[in-house]
Amino acid sequence: MKRLFAGLSDQGLVRKANQDSYRIDEPEGRFFIVADGMGGHAGGEEASRIAAETIHEFLVKNWQSQLKPPDLLEKALLKANQDIIQNQKDFPERADMGTTVVVVLFPVEGQPWCAHIGDSRLYRWRGSQLEQITEDHTWISQAVKSGLLTAEQARRHPWRHVLAQCLGREELDEIGIQPLEIQSGDQLLLCSDGLTEELADEQIAPFFEANHPCETVASALVEAAKEEGGQDNITVVLVSLGDGEEEDSARWGDAPAIDDDPTGNLNES
């Protein structure tokens, strides 16, 4: 199934630095990564950079290995976790740094897989429905799931940013790894919480209805989040899935288009 994709990262309107990072496997589009760092200016930037870079390098290096996709993803994230911990030891001032991450992988054969830690999310747009695929690793998410809070209450709860786990911790308990069911016409959205903090799901969904190119949707989502306040860094990666036979050559060209800053460390406006 043909994939077109684009990524965009923005500092937002309040933060003094961009602590998000992302990577796109160019030009094949075999995997996509979004990470959202925390732990102060330098710490957050470094944690997300290490995670995105380590996972990218591990997947490229081991792509031809005999590892099954879920094992490949698990080992990639565990390697990123250990690299962040080692950096904490080398630079004690970064001891509290950590990062969320969400990764989508398209194997040569079989269905794609997703792995995530924290509250960076994967969404799937299909038909006229936007569905959150990942489940946030936060206390708030568990409270909503158990009925203690409504989704609307959770959006404004003072504990909504408290993570149950992230990369950069010795006591990493669980990596969310799951197969991803897709079909032609689906669109995938990987994003940091700088998007979902400003836009509820019902505000995100309309951006997919017109079936615009990935670059257009990515830019529009970032601008909309900034219009709602832009309190945090905002990073989005869009992946469109199709058979490549559509007549619109601007949408289904031969070469995938991506943002010129795959690290997510340069500001976009």
Instruction: Please tell me the least confidently modeled range out of 12-21, 141-150, 172-181, 251-260.
Output: 251-260
Residue 258 covered by a domain? no
pLDDT at 247 over 50: no
- Strand 234-242 versus strand 2-10 pairing type: antiparallel
CATH number, position 31: 3.60.40.10
**For residue 9, which phi and psi values (nearest 5 degrees)?**
-130, 140
Supply the range of the domain harboring residue 125: 2-242
pLDDT score of 154:
67
The strands making up 129-132's β-sheet, listed across from edge to edge, are: 2-10, 234-242, 187-191, 121-126, 129-132
Residue 257 covered by a domain? no
pLDDT at 246 over 70: no
Residue 78 covered by a domain? yes
CA 237/CA 38 separation, integer angstroms? 20
Is residue 42 within 8 A of residue 94, CB to CB? The reply is yes
Residue 71 covered by a domain? yes
Q: What is the mean pLDDT of residues 169-179?
A: 92
Residue 262 covered by a domain? no
Residue 261 covered by a domain? no
Instruction: Please tell me the least confidently modeled range out of 115-124, 150-159, 194-203, 241-250.
Output: 241-250
Is the full-model pTM beyond 0.95? no
The tally of domains found in the chain comes to 1
Q: What is the mean pLDDT of residues 158-186?
A: 89
Residue 113 covered by a domain? yes
Is residue 141 within 8 A of residue 135, CB to CB? The reply is yes
Q: What is the mean pLDDT of residues 151-160?
A: 68
* pLDDT range class, residue 250, cuts 50, 70, 90: very low
Residue 33 covered by a domain? yes
Q: Which pair of tokens denotes residue 156?
A: 């404004």
CA 12/CA 197 separation, integer angstroms? 12
Q: Which pair of tokens denotes residue 24?
A: 């796109």
> Amino acid letter at 206?
P
Dihedral, CA of residue 29, residue 34, residue 81 and residue 267, to nearest 10: 120
pLDDT at 258 over 60: no
